[in-house]
Structure 1
Amino acid sequence: MNAPLSPLVHLIDDDEAVRTSLALLISTVGLRVQGWSDPQQFLREFPRQDIGAIVLDVRMPGISGLAVLDTLVAQGVDQPVIMLTGHGTVEMCRRAFKAGAAEFLEKPVDDEALLEALQNAVRQHVKSRERLVADRSARERYAQLSEREKEVAGLIVEGLTNKEIGRALSLSPRTVETHRANLFAKLQAESLAQLIRKYAAVIDEDGFP
């Protein structure tokens, strides 16, 4: 079985010397680096499924880093973006953060500051993807419930007892217990706390009861 690849940092800067030096620096903390000299090519070709982060120079010929950032956000790209610039202004910094940048650093960039920002960004992205997978799994399991089980689940999350659920749905306590056991098994929830933690948001979106 192959070991999982380390996170990949996409480095977009038209200056080859900058790309080379930053790539060497970033690799010292175990992150892989892919350099891009052409931001348009990057937008066309970079794999959206990668776990990692993006380091993006603000001033480049043809299209600015801020315009690239706007495009990434519009496309729903979830990799955190760290902006670099040699001529930063307060307005530029403000606009970058407003557009969704994770960090804004000035050149010549401090090595420790960049590495810390990258490691924080990668950890953030890993957690974000893990939550996405967990949410998808929760929705798929919830979809397996019958309509009645969904109603019971909604009332359980609201804090109702079996007797109260039975009165609300005109069911016997034994029938509620059966539905409760079935939905707990289907949702792979071992406790009420786990059910609420994993499924409260999904149940609320569904509109039950």
Structure 2
Amino acid sequence: MNATPSPLSPLVHLVDDDEAVRASLALLISTVGLRVQGWSDPQVFLREFPRQDIGAIVLDVRMPGMSGLAVLEALAAQGADQPVIMLTGHGTVDMCRRAFKGGAAEFLEKPVDDEALLEALQNAVRQHVRSRERLSADRVARERYAQLSEREREVAGLIVEGLTNKEIGRALALSPRTVETHRANLFAKLQAESLAQLVRQYAALIAEDGGTP
């Protein structure tokens, strides 16, 4: 049964100068609940497509004015993070190698197999959702970590190293009660409910900051 795309569903940008190809692929892609926006001009696409979209890009290799491989390079240079699936009617080993080296998620030959394209798209969208979730979580973690005082950062670094409150007190010349206060404050600011969560979410950030004195 076909799935009707929701206004909130991921958006697939379909870049191909052939109107008939865009129409048929858009119809196919919409059957799995993904929205589609077609682009006939790759340069207009590069100028105007919204970078914040969750989804993927389906990109034809051979187009007048600008090749799909050149578009792929431009996307990478612009820092676009949407996975790209390349389509071509005249694939070569060198072309395939260049596409993957340029960051393409998949390289499919026309006439493209419907199931292969849909599977590649769904995998690409899932990959993009996970990537954006990681970026969002990292941004939130950095914002929370920025709230810590210098002393709280020192305590956090020693906690991650596995030191007890008494050992942290000796290392920083603090009373155990003061260490406990700093510990409670930093756990509250980082919204960490356990030591395991603190280590999992903040160990890399603490190490990056140099967390220990």
Provide TM-score, normalisation by structure 1: 0.97
CA 1:154–1:106 in 2, change beyond 3 Å: closer, same or farther? same
1:21 Cα deviation from its structure 2 partner:
0.5
Higher mean C-alpha deviation, range 153-162 or range 66-75: 153-162
Which structure 2 segments of 5+ residues have no match? none
1:112 Cα deviation from its structure 2 partner:
0.4
* Aligned-partner SS, 1:54: strand
Which structure 1 segments of 5+ residues have no match? none
In structure 2, what is the Cα distance between the partners aligned to 1:8 and 1:165? 50
1:205 Cα deviation from its structure 2 partner:
1.1
1:151-171 deviations in Å (ceiling 9; x for gaps): 000111111111111111111
Higher mean C-alpha deviation, range 164-173 or range 75-84: 164-173
Aligned to 2:212: 208
Would you say the 8 A contact 2:106–2:120 is kept in 1? yes
Would you say the 8 A contact 2:2–2:31 is kept in 1? no
Provide TM-score, normalisation by structure 2: 0.95
1:115-163 deviations in Å (ceiling 9; x for gaps): 0000000011111111111111111111111100000001111111111
1:201 Cα deviation from its structure 2 partner:
1.4
In structure 2, what is the Cα distance between the partners aligned to 1:140 and 1:78? 22
1:41-79 deviations in Å (ceiling 9; x for gaps): 000000000000000000111111000000000110000
Identity %: 90
Of 66, 71, 76 in structure 2, the residue corresponding to residue 68 of structure 1 is 71
Aligned length: 209
In structure 2, what is the Cα distance between the partners aligned to 1:171 and 1:208? 15
1:208 Cα deviation from its structure 2 partner:
3.4
Would you say the 8 A contact 2:2–2:32 is kept in 1? no
In structure 1, what is the Cα distance between the partners aligned to 2:2 and 2:158? 45
1:171-192 deviations in Å (ceiling 9; x for gaps): 1111111110110011100000
Would you say the 8 A contact 2:39–2:45 is kept in 1? yes
In structure 2, what is the Cα distance between the partners aligned to 1:40 and 1:135? 32
Higher mean C-alpha deviation, range 157-166 or range 6-15: 157-166
Higher mean C-alpha deviation, range 164-173 or range 44-53: 164-173
Aligned to 1:28: 31
1:2 Cα deviation from its structure 2 partner:
22
1:12-50 deviations in Å (ceiling 9; x for gaps): 001111100000000000000000000000000000000
1:93 Cα deviation from its structure 2 partner:
0.6
Aligned to 2:166: 163
In structure 2, what is the Cα distance between the partners aligned to 1:134 and 1:2? 33
Q: RMSD in angstroms over aligned alpha carbons?
A: 2.7
Aligned to 2:191: 188
* Aligned-partner SS, 2:9: coil
Aligned to 1:135: 138
Would you say the 8 A contact 2:73–2:102 is kept in 1? yes
CA 1:2–1:31 in 2, change beyond 3 Å: closer, same or farther? closer
Higher mean C-alpha deviation, range 82-91 or range 2-11: 2-11
Would you say the 8 A contact 2:55–2:82 is kept in 1? yes
In structure 2, what is the Cα distance between the partners aligned to 1:194 and 1:14? 49
